[in-house]
Amino acid sequence: MQRENWLYGGLMNNIDILKNWIDESDNIVFFGGAGVSTESGIPDFRSVDGLYKQKYKYPPETIVSHTFLKQKPGEFFEFYKEKMVAPAINSKPNMAHEKLAQWEKEGKLKAVITQNIDGLHQAAGSENVLELHGTVHKNYCDRCYKQYKVSDVINADGIPKCECGGTIRPDVVLYEEGLDSDVMSKAINYISNADVLIIGGTSLVVYPAAGLIRYYRGNKLVLVNLSETSQDGFADLVIHEKIGEVFSRL
């Protein structure tokens, strides 16, 4: 259902307004979540078919936590490899990722700030990507900190082990773990200086990531999200449609 706005003397729908704002800006910042990758075939977390709605021996949000990784590494890696790594490395960017990379190349978009760990923005060609929750593509030994590739994790039989005997873990922010302060301060800087802030494919329920959007000081806050969020009322433009489809029309 598209809210219709009167703008510039004529009836324009929200997509036309968004297109206008994008055409006129060279300082766009994007803040996204799992809903950006669902059109690539990666389920999100909280939609009806999301990862957290599926039934497991433990609640998924318990599994992807620091404590669970330490106490039940075998079960952690079984879930993590099957449900988070495999979908990420077997998926391709969709139109949402492509358009953001195009706008960056055109000098219109300054940064992609994402909660996703699938690396699809970089696969689409985006260069300035701030990964608030890390990425499946970076892994390290929890004892000697030797770096490892995602293939070393997904191809390991059971728990990935370093040659020093330590466990190879993903450079992903698990529940109970903190976000990288350098990434956070860069994200805050881009958002607080943005002309247009486009928020897409996120339920905005996980902090501190969701709190970042409060730093936006402009008057072109766009929300492109299939379902309603608690921030809809603060947005200057709300589009409840699939982000890949919306972006393909811009």
Per CB under 6 A, residues contacting ligand APR are 33-35, 38-39, 44-47, 50, 115, 133, 201-203, 205-206, 224-227, 242-244
Q: How far is the CB of 64 from ligand APR (least distance, A)?
A: 7
Report the phi/psi class of residue 173: left, alpha or beta, with left for phi > 0 and alpha for psi in -120 to 50. Answer: beta
Residue 246: Cβ within 10 Å count: 22
Evaluate the omega torsion of the peptide bond into residue 60 and state whether it is cis, within 30 degrees of 0: no
CA distance 96 to 245: 8
- The two beta strands, 4-7 and 10-13, are antiparallel
Q: How far is the CB of 73 from ligand APR (least distance, A)?
A: 19
CA distance 105 to 90: 25
Nearer to ligand APR, 50 or 166 (CB): 50
Tokens of 143: 């004892």
State which H helix or E strand residue 29 sits in.
Answer: strand 28-32
Q: How far is the CB of 146 from ligand APR (least distance, A)?
A: 25
**Catalytic positions, written as ranges:** 133
Nearer to ligand APR, 162 or 173 (CB): 173
Q: How far is the CB of 210 from ligand APR (least distance, A)?
A: 8
Nearer to ligand APR, 109 or 162 (CB): 109
Please name the residue that has the structure tokens 């593509």: 137
Nearest to 151 by CA among 89, 221, 211: 89
Closest residue to ligand APR, based on beta-carbon distance: 35
Q: How far is the CB of 226 from ligand APR (least distance, A)?
A: 4
Q: Are 213 and 236 in contact (CB under 8 A)?
A: no
Report the first-to-last Cα separation within the chain, whole angstroms. Answer: 18
